[in-house]
Amino acid sequence: MKLNLTQKLISTHLVSGEMKVGQPIVVSVDQTLTQDSTGTMCYLQLEALKVGKVVTKRSVAYIDHNMLQSGFENADDHAYIQSVALSHGVFVSKPGNGICHQVHLERFGVPGYTLVGSDSHTPTGGGIGMLAIGAGGLDVALAMAKGTLNLTMPEVIGVKLTGRLKPNVCAKDLILEVLRILSVKGGVGKIIEYFGDGVKSLTVPERATITNMGAELGATTSVFPSDNLTKKFLRAQGRESDFVALSADRGAAYDKVIEIDLGLIEPLAAAPHMPDNVVTVAELAGKKVDQVCIGSCTDSSLLTMLKVAAALKGKKVHPNVSLTISPGSRQVLTMLSKCGALKDILDSGARLLECACGPCIGMGQSPKTDAVSLRTFNRNFYARSGTKSASVYLVSPLTAAYSAISGVITVPQGEIEDVKLPSRFDINDSLILDPADFGDITIERGPNIKPFPIGQKLSGKIEKTVTIKVGDNITTDDIMPSNAKLLPYRSNIPYLSSFCLSTVDESFSERTRAAGGGIIVGGENYGQGSSREHAALAPLQLGIRAVIVKSIARIHRDNLINSGILPLVFGDTTDYDKIDEGDELIIDDPVGAVESGKAVIKNKTKGYTFTALLNVNDRQKEILIEGGTINYERRGTFGE
């Protein structure tokens, strides 16, 4: 049988289950990654499961998100992560070394391997032919402990690329085009596989930009073949021995195929406040710009930065624009400084930020009131920048650089120096700690680490008030906002829970606490965006027992199940319109509902009954009945 690349990657890692779309499967996990903002909770859960050394081939704990120590909390969390990771056999990439996805691609990713990361942009690894999947912290803890990941066999969408990108059109424009075609929920339950002649015109960093931002499609992951360019990239990283050639069998089938002629793509932008709100840059041309930020795990590679430097060379940033540059890794920064490109960037008036997530996660650089901010990042969700009134546009690095110079949104045009990847990257792993170099380690725990909530075994009936009704496309940035003020509290769920859904309604948490818990009602694609399980743990802390929505994002749904919160989907979406905030709902037999996959819900306030579905597999049923994965696993593999 002819297999596509996704099927090959899954079949070589299949532990159990059948590769039939929609069926539960278990795959073996070669590598894991965590970052600091999801990492604290992930390692607390690893400890709660009483795990010894991790069983993966390589696990790495990155510290890249929360780089601002405005109090002891965050510094304590970093010390906790470093000590707990090393003591469990996990490598540590220290602050300053770079953004997890960029560094992992450079130093650790291996074509053909599986990678599970507690960050939604883990699919970056698909740029070198990895099956790289984002998951909640608890699922990553389990992957480290058991070496496996539970998945639902996805559909595979083949994206056939032909031709080559025009000069001044970047990989970012291509993924924006895919977002325009598929939308932010078009990838749910799917893996996006790129193939066709056009693939060979895209370098590894460009492929990684595309697989990275496939997360915004809601896709399980995205993947490119591993070919000669992958080999060259790994050789330049001193890792040619990690190379293996991988591609789909000729004539392999896909569940759906989309064809894109690279030569037809124009510079594109995602307008506020959704990554699929795609328009051409030409349509926006002339709009005044206040801020431009270049960086993030999507677009901060050496190639990106060299293009930006070439565009800025000899030019000045417009006086009304603040331009920030965050190189993706220390390797990128070092090489920029060695080749002189950094000087071109600095001479233009750009501000150099740390090699970290920075403004992408609201860690500084919040734009001014009503600002127009152009960012090469992947998410322009409402309020994510830290300024609710700001309009954030997602653009390519070239659009960003040209617009920073002119002060208005500008279509990149004209000749810039041709930039090429080096045949040898500057390799310096001194900020990576190898657990083998450390003996017995005392785990450092600061006072900011508070016990996290654990669900209760399901029994009796659920009788709760709808304490909030929200619309479509609610993000995890809405459910559990992250910014410079809240990120230091990722190991303190009781504190964080007071800000749950605060971008939508500031009184939600107080109201839910006062009601002794509640139920959340939502629209389509509820919980899209990040992998943060805090968006499930904070509702759990407040006593939320169920969400009832029109549809739900993959990772958030898994996180709700892990927390023992029922992720219900309206059987008939018109029932959404009938419910109001404040309605009292009763699920008489939640255990029966989980077992049968169907909940009969009484709206006591309005006096009618409706059904909601729970599309869960047998393992997930048991987890929900036990009140979450920690209880379930303690009873099973990690029992006393």
Q: Footprint of ligand SF4 on this chain (CB under 6 A)?
A: 65, 99, 119, 121, 296-297, 357, 360-361, 377-378
Cβ(395)–Cβ(375) below 8 Å: yes
At closest approach, how far in Å is the CB of 594 from ligand SF4? 33
Residue that has been written with the tokens 């099927």 in this structure: 7
Nearer to ligand MIC, 296 or 631 (CB): 296
Quickly list H helices, 264-361.
281-284, 302-312, 330-339, 341-347
Q: How far is the CB of 299 from ligand SF4 (least distance, A)?
A: 9
Q: Which is nearer to ligand MIC, 92 or 537 (CB)?
A: 537
Q: What is the 3-state secondary structure (H, E, C) of 346-392?
A: HHCCCEECCCCCHHHHCCCCCCCCCCEEEECCCCCCCCCCCCCCCEE
CA-based Rg of the chain, rounded to a whole angstrom?
Answer: 23
Give me the least distance between CB of 1 and ligand MIC, in Å please: 35
φ and ψ of 245, to 5 deg = -80, 135
DSSP type of residue 108: I
411 burial class (0-12, 13-18, 19+ CB within 10 angstroms)? middle
Contact 633, 145 (CB under 8 A): no
**From CA 303, how far away is CA 419, in angstroms rounded?**
7
Residues in 54-93 at the binding interface with ligand MIC, rule: CB under 6 A: 65
Closest distance to ligand SF4 from the beta carbon of 118 (Å): 10
Whole-number minimum distance, CB 95 to ligand MIC, in Å?
Answer: 15
531 touches, from ligand MIC, ligand SF4, none (C-beta below 5 to 8 Å by class):
ligand MIC
Cα separation values, 204 from 211, 336, 358, Å:
10, 18, 24
Instruction: Check residue 37 for interaction with ligand MIC (CB under 6 A).
Output: yes
- Report, in Å, the least distance between residue 496 CB and ligand MIC: 11
In Å, what is the CA distance from 152 to each residue of 14, 33, 43, 124, 146? 12, 21, 25, 20, 18
Total number of residues shown for the chain: 640
How many residues line the site for ligand MIC (CB under 6 A)? 12
Q: Tell me how far apart the alpha carbons of residues 558 and 596 are, in angstroms, rounded to a whole number.
A: 19
Distance CA 525, CA 554 (A): 9
Binds 532: which of ligand MIC, ligand SF4, none (CB < 5-8 Å by kind): ligand MIC
Strand partners, 451: none
Smallest distance, Å, CB 149 to ligand MIC?
16
Nearest approach in angstroms of CB 531 to ligand SF4 is 9
- How far apart are CB 360 and ligand MIC at their closest, in Å? 6
**478 contributes a contact to ligand MIC by CB under 6 A:** no
Measured from the CB atom, is 4 or 35 closer to ligand MIC?
A: 35
- Exactly one of 56, 120, 373, 467 binds ligand MIC (CB under 6 A); that residue is 120
> Looking at beta carbons only, is 99 or 500 nearer to ligand SF4?
99
Q: Which of helix, strand or coil describes residue 270? A: strand
- Specify the residue, 196 or 328, whose C-beta has the smaller distance to ligand SF4: 328
Of the pair 99, 110, the CB lying nearest ligand SF4 is at 99
If contact means CB under 5 to 8 A according to the sort of partner, which of ligand SF4, ligand MIC, none does residue 565 touch?
none
Element containing residue 268 per DSSP (H, E): strand 268-270
What does DSSP assign to residue 196? S
375 binding ligand MIC? (CB under 6 A) = no
CA 92 to chain centre: 20
Smallest distance from the beta carbon of 378 to ligand SF4, in angstroms? Answer: 5
482 binds ligand MIC (CB under 6 A): yes
Nearer to ligand MIC, 100 or 199 (CB): 100
Q: Could you say which of ligand SF4, ligand MIC, none residue 541 binds, taking C-beta under 5 to 8 angstroms by partner kind?
A: none
Residue 356 CA to residue 337 CA, distance in Å, equals: 17
Is residue 497 within the footprint of ligand MIC (CB under 6 A)? Answer: no
Nearest distance in Å: CB 405, ligand SF4 = 24
Distances in whole angstroms, Cα of residue 428 to Cα of each of 131, 238, 550: 26, 11, 49
Residue 491 binds: one of ligand MIC, ligand SF4, none (C-beta under 5 to 8 A by kind): none
Ranges within 336-365 binding ligand MIC (CB under 6 A): 361
Please choose, from the candidates 117, 234, 236, 257, the residue with its C-alpha nearest in 3D space to the C-alpha of residue 178: 257
* Opening angle at CA 183, ends 181 and 187, nearest 5: 100
Nearer to ligand MIC, 124 or 301 (CB): 124
* Cβ-contact 599, 611 below 8 angstroms: yes
Among 185, 307, 532, 556, binds ligand MIC (CB under 6 A): 532
Name which of ligand SF4, ligand MIC, none residue 296 binds, using a CB cut-off of 5 to 8 Å depending on partner kind: ligand SF4
99 binds, options ligand MIC, ligand SF4, none, Cβ within 5 to 8 A by partner type: ligand SF4
For ligand MIC, the binding residue among 6, 31, 34, 38 (CB under 6 A) is 38
Token representation of residue 489: 């509290």
Token pair belonging to 343: 């000087």
Could you tell which of ligand SF4, ligand MIC, none binds residue 194, using a CB distance below 5 to 8 A set by kind? Answer: none
Q: Residue 558 and residue 120: Cα distance in Å, rounded?
A: 13
Which residues make up the interface to ligand MIC (CB under 6 A)? 37-38, 65, 119-121, 361, 482, 529-532
